[in-house]
């Protein structure tokens, strides 16, 4: 009997912006899933700002992965929106070529995590935004990371409303406790639960990747991904 190849679950990690904890959370999620699945891999198919980064996101994700592939994707030196870095380096981002490459990894892995650069509506080209890329990847789970600080209500509500227009389903909101916290820290989660019909996970504390991997919020995501 011919069987369709079992496609690995695909998780997309995106956010309301840059420098908010997407990679940190993704690393912890890879470690957590790595405890129950053997071939787990994190990819950063488009990355900018490599000149200033001490460690690239791609390398951080690879370090937290238990399954490895030949590196691929777009890596730009400048800290710029991907569409601008791509324009400056005359190396346009071709989403149509990335999707089958990620599909090949999916054929071999138990779980593939893709971290998108910047925020959900960061441009990859003049026509394609992260949200379009995420939609075309057909993920099993899309998580939106946001800092648990003043302004988060606007950023999360605007982003999830805009995602609906793509359409890209957002399956969960992950709030990250900022350092230092502000007057809104701790208040956003309950409000987003009242205002949105999307699950809002318990906020991530400031903690090492290893400690976060054992946190209840990470366990909850692993449970969803392994059921």
Ligand X SMILES: Nc1ncnc2c1ncn2[C@@H]1O[C@H](COP(=O)(O)OP(=O)(O)O)[C@@H](O)[C@H]1O
The contact set with ligand X (CB under 6 A) reads: 15, 18-24, 176, 204, 206-207
Least CB distance from residue 13 to Mg ion, whole Å?
8
C-beta of 176 vs 200, nearer to ligand X: 176
18: partner contacted, choices Mg ion, ligand X, none (Cβ within 5-8 A by kind): ligand X
Least CB distance from residue 23 to ligand X, whole Å?
3
Strands (E) across 58-104 are located at 74-75
Q: Which residues, 6+ apart, have CB-to-CB distance to 183 below 8 Å? A: 150
CA distance 132 to 2: 33
Residues with catalytic function: 44
CA distance 80 to 148: 24
Residue 29 preceded by cis peptide, ω within 30 = no
Q: Which one, of 179, 166, 106, 160, lies nearest residue 134 by Cα? A: 166
Q: Could you say whether residue 47 binds Mg ion (CB under 5 A)?
A: no
Q: By rule CB under 5 A, what string of x and - marks binding of each residue 13-32 to Mg ion?
A: ---------xx---------
Least CB distance from residue 11 to Mg ion, whole Å?
14
Q: Could you say whether residue 57 binds Mg ion (CB under 5 A)?
A: yes
Residues that bind Mg ion (CB under 5 A): 22-23, 57
């Amino acid at each position: 009997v011919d069987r369709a190849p079992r496609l690995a679950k695909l998780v997309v990690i995106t956010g309301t912006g840059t420098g908010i904890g997407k990679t940190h959370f993704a690393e912890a999620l890879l470690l957590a899933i790595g405890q129950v699945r053997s071939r787990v891999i994190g990819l950063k198919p488009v990355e900018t700002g490599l000149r200033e980064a001490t460690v690239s996101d791609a390398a951080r994700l690879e370090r937290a992965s238990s399954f490895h592939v030949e590196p691929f994707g777009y890596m730009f030196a400048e800290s710029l929106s991907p569409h601008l870095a791509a324009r400056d380096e005359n190396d346009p981002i071709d989403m149509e070529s990335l999707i089958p490459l990620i599909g090949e990894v999916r054929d071999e892995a138990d779980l593939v995590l893709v971290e998108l650069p910047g925020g959900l509506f960061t441009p990859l080209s003049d026509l394609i935004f992260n949200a379009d890329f995420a939609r075309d990847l057909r993920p099993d789970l899309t998580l939106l990371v946001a800092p648990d600080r003043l302004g988060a209500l606007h950023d999360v509500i605007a982003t999830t409303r805009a995602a609906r227009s793509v359409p890209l389903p957002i399956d969960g909101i992950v709030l990250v406790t900022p350092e230092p916290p502000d007057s809104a820290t701790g208040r956003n989660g309950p409000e987003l639960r009242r205002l949105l019909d999307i699950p809002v996970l318990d906020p991530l504390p400031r903690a090492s990747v290893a400690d976060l991997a054992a946190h209840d919020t990470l366990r909850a995501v692993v449970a969803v991904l392994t059921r």
